[in-house]
Amino acid sequence: MLSFWRNSFVSLSSVLVMTITLLTIGSLMLTSVVLDSVLSDLKSKVDVNVYFTLSAPDEEMMKVQSTLQKMPEVASVEFVSREQALAEFKDKHKDDSLTLQALDELGDNPLGARLNIVAKDPSQYESIVKTLESESVLGAGASGEAGVIDKVNYRQNKVVIDRLSEIIASAKQLGFSVALALILVSILITFNTIRLVIYMSREEIAVMRLVGASSTYVRGPFIVGGMIYGAMSALISIFIFWPITWWLAQHTTDFFGGVNLFDYYVHNFFQIFIVIFGSGIIFGGISSFLAVRKYLKV
């Protein structure tokens, strides 16, 4: 700590730079949470509908639903009865009097029951539909009579589903690339800043080496000092994240898939603390180890 106060301006600069580095790492962690929430929200908005024939028996429809629920690719299956489908149709067209009048003139419910299928990943819809198109699931008998499924709207939604799969894959790749680039730049800046701190003590290092001090003996205090810088920066970063996540919580809740960043930060505080605190100590120690090596050669 003596060297910290002796070179207070440079030391504070090092702490500031490391704080920015750790804030970058913490921000990337929180951003990934928001990104995952947004992608999950997008996934949930894309589904495939299975429409049953008007004469489909209840037991056959339940059999199809049960088969789908057992598939590992399926996240959820919602059964919508004929009555529910009719009520939804009327509510959707409540302002279209002509459509409602035509529906009343039919005198019967023209809509069949359906299943709303949500896959765990949009890319898995094709395999789910292939299973639906198999003879056993469609309910065709041995004599070849028609099955209980009228149609599956996967083909109509395929363009949207494929596009969404591409967006999700690209977003993940872009997020990983940006995170890696920012971390590498932050580490490089941290290394150069700590190197400046050690540069201030280059003459002291040279004297210690001339009187026979070993490399380990000389390097030790600087590594410990770098770790202290890292620990101080980590504590500052963790403190800063508290009001920031609280302020951002209302915006992320309303616009980014319903995730509350402040709740996430509080509930995962221990894990976040370990990552940021550990990163600070490791970055400070390694940067000091590498920076002091240049001045050990006498």
Query: 168: which strand partners?
Result: none
pLDDT band at residue 212, thresholds of 50, 70 and 90? confident
Please state which CATH number belongs to domain 47-157. 3.30.70.3040
Rg (CA), the chain: 31
Share of the chain above pLDDT 90, in %: 5
Higher model confidence: residue 287 or residue 280?
280
pLDDT band at residue 270, thresholds of 50, 70 and 90? very high
Q: How far apart are CA 109 and CA 227, in angstroms?
A: 73
pTM flag (> 0.85): no
pLDDT at 288 over 70: yes
What pLDDT does 6 receive? 57
pLDDT band at residue 136, thresholds of 50, 70 and 90? very low
Beta-carbon contacts of 204 under 8 Å, excluding residues fewer than 6 positions away, are: none
pLDDT band at residue 141, thresholds of 50, 70 and 90? very low
**Among 278, 188, 265, which residue's Cα sits nearest to residue 233?**
278
Domain ranges of the chain: 2-42+164-296, 47-157
Residue carrying the six token digits 């205090």: 221
What's the start-to-end Cα distance of the chain, in Å? Answer: 26
pLDDT at 163 over 90: no
What pLDDT does 10 receive? 65
pLDDT at 144 over 50: no
pLDDT band at residue 274, thresholds of 50, 70 and 90? very high
- What's the mean per-residue pLDDT of the chain? 78
Higher model confidence: residue 181 or residue 245?
245
Which range, of 14-23, 69-78, 144-153, 199-208, averages the lowest pLDDT? 144-153
204-222: burial string, b at 16+ Cβ within 10 Å, e else:
ebeebbeeeeeeeebbeeb
Higher model confidence: residue 215 or residue 77?
77
In this prediction, residues 148-165 reach a mean pLDDT of 75
Q: How far apart are CA 82 and CA 121, in angstroms?
A: 28
Q: How far apart are CA 289 and CA 292, in angstroms?
A: 6
